[in-house]
Chains A and B, each alone.
Chain A
Amino acid sequence: MALVFDITGEYAMFRKFYTTTSSASYPFPPPTAVGGLIAAIIGVENKSENKAHLASYWESLYGNRIAISILSPTQWFTTSINLWNNKDPKKGIHNIIKHQFVKRPKYRIYVEGPIEEKLKPFLEEGSFVFTPYLGTAYSFANIHYIGSFNPLKIEDDEARIKSIIPADIKPKINLKKTHGIFKDIVPLQMDKERGLTKSLSVFYPANIDTGIFVDNPEEIGGVLVGNDEIVWLPEWSRKPSG
């Protein structure tokens, strides 16, 4: 089975991991952010009280896989934020950092794997252990449970994929029908020391209503979950391949 839920909020800021000082955001939560969100809902600790960088919850995420769809057209909001300059405050008390936020985001998350059993009751009740948020602590996430579905293989010659698609599985994209797509590199998973163990090139639609038309859905493992045609991202695993 696969669990499906929507996340919405007023703002989101999923910082691109390959930038340095600027806080540029992905338009959608990268898989690592979704991992953290799931861990927060079911209440797996990160153990960061021992070492600031720890992300111990990854242990409980391995063996599961997810898919991510963008449901609302991406709108940006850019502003700057005063951060405390704790190295040389006499020169200037603040480090002023530009932040890029997604406005009024709405995403759909699909989850498949052993973690479903733990996650499902929380989604059904609309409850959580740790407060879920969209990238920054002040961007609260509202969670809406959609349901639990049996994923069905797409056997048609064509599919309109709603989710982000890994580039390395070689989707045959019908650009004429799709009109536009974007490509970006996202972090896929981390180890419990918060080290990046695998990143991934992905395609995502320029127009969320259109999605991405592909001519080889079966080859790339396209599935129908509820009403959505999606493609799973690679499973989170202790020893990722590739």
Chain B
Amino acid sequence: MFNGRKELLFLYSVKDANPNGDPLNANHPRYDEETGQVLVSDVRIKRTIRDELMRMGEDVFIDGEPKSLKERFEELKTKLSTTKGDETLKKCIDTRLFGVTFALGKESFAWTGPVQFKWGRSLHKAKVEFVQGTGAFVTKEGGEQRTIRNEYIVPFALIGTYAIGNQYASERTQATDEDFNKLTQAVWNGTNNLITRSKTEHRSRFLMEIVYQPNFNGLIGSLDERIKLTKRDNSLLDDDEQLAIRNIQDIALNLKEICDKVSLLKDNIEKIIIIKDPDLEVQYIDDLKSILGEDKVAMELR
């Protein structure tokens, strides 16, 4: 099981792509009309993680292929030499981390996943553009006009996602700290590896994992809502400026509120792990180090 509670904040940028289409809205990027923010479902984020975990050689239950539950289960039983659903799914990293509801034949069980992801949200107002292009083929032989391709893209968005890792729920699914570490690697590398047509130019920018002491049952909470995007000189971005962001180098990430919370809970925090893109300016990391002590903040530039 997890040694203690964990919180995960992960930021990635999207350029000229569709971060997550709404299937009943012509694949328009999920969008909050009121705030102008682009949204990404938890399922999309977990798909990215699962795909990367499979590349890492892990066994994953929901492999994304069109198979029925029975087919997938039979496949896994053969591969893993297991018989029951319970033992089979304990060998799959995604069901250990994200939980599962399983009902097949006489066996039925539900595990609440120790890791729950919230929907991701752009940290600024973002535009959605409708673009058309010419397809490769004509519809009828001898025709002149090739088909027209329609799609929505977001010129730029920096998206924040947040997850909680619960040590008690991990007991039941037998998820380990090692599993969680694989998840953090998978979300970073998997995002960079998203190379389908609609998901080009996805870049991992910032990851922060807070690991709490084993006996602590609280947390800071909503890390994604406690960060702020500013201009490089620390001033606020107005609405037009938010819509005009096209480059990560134009902006800075401000961790002040998280820093304040960390200083309140510092005795309960075991360590903070940060992975950062050198291009992203992040303020208050030095403050984090001075609050917790250098040895408790591990930072890697990647």
Contact = CB atoms under 8 A, between A and B. Distances in A.
Interface in A14-60: 43, 46, 48-53
A195 interface: no
B24 A53 contact: no
A129 B66 contact: no
A126 B218 contact: yes
Nearest to B216: A127
B109 A125 contact: no
Contact of B109 (A49, A80, A139, A142): A49
B221 interface: yes
Interface in A166-217: none
Q: Helix, strand, loop or mixed for chain B's interface? A: mixed
Interface in B20-71: 22-25, 30, 32, 34, 39, 41-43, 62, 66-69
B240 to A, nearest CB: 24
Interface string B190-220: 0000000000000000000000000011100
A48 B42 CA distance: 23
A131 interface: yes
Report, as a range, how many residues of chain B touch the other chain: 35 or more
Nearest to A43: B168
Given A10-B225, A49-B111, A133 B116 contact: yes
A131 B225 CA distance: 18
A140 B164 contact: yes
A153 to B, nearest CB: 36
Contact of B217 (A77, A79, A125, A133): A125
Nearest to B225: A10
Given A52-B101, A140-B222, A77 B66 contact: no
Nearest to B268: A127
Given A77-B32, A125-B217, A127-B218, A53 B108 contact: yes
Report, as a range, how many residues of chain A touch the other chain: 35 or more
Contact of B116 (A50, A86, A140): A140
Nearest to A83: B43
A86 B112 contact: no
B152 interface: no
A142 B217 contact: no
Given A10-B225, A129-B217, A138 B119 contact: yes
Interface of B: 22-25, 30, 32, 34, 39, 41-43, 62, 66-69, 86, 99, 101-103, 108-113, 116-119, 121, 162, 164, 166, 168-169, 172, 216-218, 221-222, 225
24 contacts: A10-B119, A10-B222, A10-B225, A43-B168, A48-B112, A52-B102, A79-B30, A82-B23, A89-B66, A89-B68, A90-B66, A93-B66, A96-B23, A122-B217, A125-B217, A126-B218, A128-B218, A130-B166, A137-B42, A137-B99, A137-B113, A137-B116, A140-B221, A142-B222
